[in-house]
Copies of this chain bind each other. A is one copy, B any other.
Amino acid sequence: MSQRKAIGDAGRATIRDVAERAGVSVASVSRVLSGNYPVSEELRRRVMKVVRDLDYVTNAHARSLAGGGTPTVAILINNITGAAFAHVAKGVEGAATLRGWLSLVGTTGDDPERELALVNLMRQQGVAAVVLLGGAYDFEEYQLRMARFARSLDAAGSHLVLVGRPPLEGDVPATTVDYDNESGAYAMASHLLSAGHRRVLVLPGPAGLTTAQGRLKGARRAFEAYGVPFDPGLVRHGPYDDEHGYAAVKAALHDTPDFTAVLAGTDVVAAGAMQALRAEGLRVPDDVSIVGYDDIPLASQLTPQLTTVHVPYEEMGRVALRAVADRREGTGPAGRRKGGGDGEHLVLGTHVVVRDSVRPPRRHT
């Protein structure tokens, strides 16, 4: 699909010029630039210095996105300021850099049109893989859309990887790297129930988002397991931001003030919830306990430090990149695997991180 651009335009340094000046063979330069072979650090430095001096790297990297040189991975993310998925991107990038690959991040702003435009752009540019991050809305439409992406990328010799998203049904050539979202919520709710909490304000996230649905489901299962009635009146959906955490707690203190703990859908929502409790003169955890989800750095910067669910975001990114690299290496440079039927679903574990934001309730109901 890709047109290779010629190396060595008139007047430009050629690979021979680089080899000569570095005092190494053309094959060595090629090895350094391809990033596909192990080379000594000394050789790499020497060649790269000449490459820079002669501005030769320009040509080498011209081939990158066209599939000829350095493999490139495209990461698509809803919002670049969302901490959790920035850590996935960091994991992908770290693993990519270790292999001498490049990575690029595009943001979709939750806009399906931009997502489509970026997937198509990346497919045309011949990236090794497109990694889509984050929860998905609207299950059926999502399945159709992703299956279309997967097939079109596969046909172009690229590959679709979904991270933190539901796996695709049927015979679709995509890799899914997921975490055990529901079990994390189950463990977190169990932690509150074990401490004696019975009336728990639940802020799972946006109602239509698969992530939020899983977290709510996990919490409900824990209530069932503990034989504690689950009150849907204590569930408040809303965006994963601190404004929602703040507003939801303010409203709940007015409508259903008998809750003794808050199960927040993310650490950021928990931060907003904490501010609201404090604004009403309630102490955390003395008066109200609170837990989060994600374990981003914020969780340990809050006062008190937040008990939360650890999601291995960076590791998910590394696993995603490795899955892509393994596919490429397994098939060799001569040909690429085609067609569907090789959907892969990797699930990483989650666990509760106990810090200082939970105490047994003061007032039982």
**Does the CB pair B70–A81 fall under 8 Å?**
no
Judge whether A87 is part of the interface by a CB distance below 8 angstroms: yes
**Does the CB pair B242–A297 fall under 8 Å?**
yes
Judge whether A290 is part of the interface by a CB distance below 8 angstroms: no
Contact with B along A234-248 (1 / 0, CB 8 A): 000000001000000
Judge whether A124 is part of the interface by a CB distance below 8 angstroms: yes
Contact with B along A116-132 (1 / 0, CB 8 A): 11101101110000000
Binds B, one of A100-108, A186-194, A195-203, A324-332: A100-108
**Could you tell me the distance in whole angstroms from the C-beta of A290 to the nearest C-beta in chain B?**
13
**Does the CB pair B93–A109 fall under 8 Å?**
yes
Contact with B along A172-190 (1 / 0, CB 8 A): 0000000000000000000
Judge whether A298 is part of the interface by a CB distance below 8 angstroms: yes
Residue of B nearest to A76 (CB): B104
**Does the CB pair A57–B301 fall under 8 Å?**
no
**Does the CB pair A114–B102 fall under 8 Å?**
yes
Copies of this protein chain in the complex: 2
Binds B, one of A18-26, A59-67, A216-224: A59-67
> Which residues of B are found within 8 Å of A87, using beta-carbon distances?
81
Judge whether A362 is part of the interface by a CB distance below 8 angstroms: no
**Does the CB pair A109–B97 fall under 8 Å?**
yes
**Does the CB pair B64–A93 fall under 8 Å?**
no
Judge whether A338 is part of the interface by a CB distance below 8 angstroms: no
> Which residues of B are found within 8 Å of A275, using beta-carbon distances?
300-301
Judge whether A3 is part of the interface by a CB distance below 8 angstroms: yes
| 18 extra A-B contacts, CB within 8 A, seeds A242-B297, A298-B298, A302-B302 | A3-B3, A3-B5, A52-B113, A57-B120, A58-B124, A61-B124, A62-B124, A65-B121, A70-B117, A74-B104, A80-B80, A80-B86, A80-B93, A102-B106, A105-B105, A125-B125, A271-B301, A274-B301
- List residues of A whose CB falls within 8 A of some B CB: 3, 5, 48, 52, 55, 57-58, 61-62, 64-65, 70, 72, 74, 79-81, 83, 86-87, 89-90, 93-94, 97, 102-107, 109, 111, 113-114, 116-118, 120-121, 123-125, 152, 242, 268, 271-272, 274-275, 278, 297-298, 300-303
* Top-6 shortest CB links A-B: A105-B105, A303-B303, A271-B301, A62-B124, A61-B121, A81-B86
